[in-house]
Structure 1
Amino acid sequence: MLPQHNAKPHYKPNVYDVEKSIVRKRIIPVIGLHKLQQIKPLAVTRFYNQLQENYSSDYARHIHVVLRNAFVMAEKWEMILDNPIKKVIPPRIKKKEMKVWTVEQCMIFLIEAEGHAHYIAFSLAIHTGMRRGEILGLRWKDINYKTKTLRV
């Protein structure tokens, strides 16, 4: 069984909720069936292999990070003497080829999106390369009308 994670004060609420969901839905149903001290590197390796068959490499790696953090805390709290995660090769992230639109595709999209409620956000993303979180985090005070610039 994994240790109860008292990390909530150290995480942003959204991150905590995502990681809590990973623990509940992915880790506990497989790894959580065993007592903490009985979890061996082979069991973790099999778990990782199963993850890589069913999920993206990014997601499998994220699950590894959550599991590793739990075992680091279990080791720190002296709940285990030997950390099996240290003896396991973590899931590797497979590099994906970046797919980008041509200038023509961008222009067609912006023409079609004209009048859409999120048109300004779409336009900012295409013209500046800003990410969704950066666009959604903009405030009026981030706009400098004199210099015609945005501060991200």
Structure 2
Amino acid sequence: MSVVQGIVCRPSTSGDVIVLANCEVEIAQPSSNSSTAVPSEYLAAKIIENRAKLHFNNDGKIEIDGFFIHYAVSLDGPGPLIYACVAEPEIPSDRAQQFLLNVKVSLSLSLKNQCGSESEYYFFTVSHCYFSAKIDFTKKKKKLQNFVLRL
């Protein structure tokens, strides 16, 4: 199994990157990092905070401990958001960026005219099929919406 851990963050006024939502997807394909732990969402957010350019729309990838952090910074929508996933090297960059775009579109539809404060935390869980992922969004354990995303 290959693992993709997705996170949605936003930059705070102090310059920190705050994690708003997270998920983990297991993809049925060989994994070279089966014994290596996936970097935590906190570590991924800190690396993005230090190494990504957060003041304009852009995307990229950062290598850490045998994994890649694929990210997309978006200043469009209800507020600036950073979509990221920590993926094993077997996950192609274009597939990871497409996953992030799908999360962005789904969140834009779900959270239109809403922007999470630093005290709010959104959770999303993903059920993965070969071509799609079903995402259940919850806010403080209250279900918000379901989405099916194409990977």
**What TM-score, normalized by structure 1, do the two folds share?**
0.24
Q: Which has the larger radius of gyration?
A: 1
Instruction: Between the two structures, name the one with larger relative contact order (CA 8 Å, sep ≥ 6).
Output: 2
More helix by share: 1
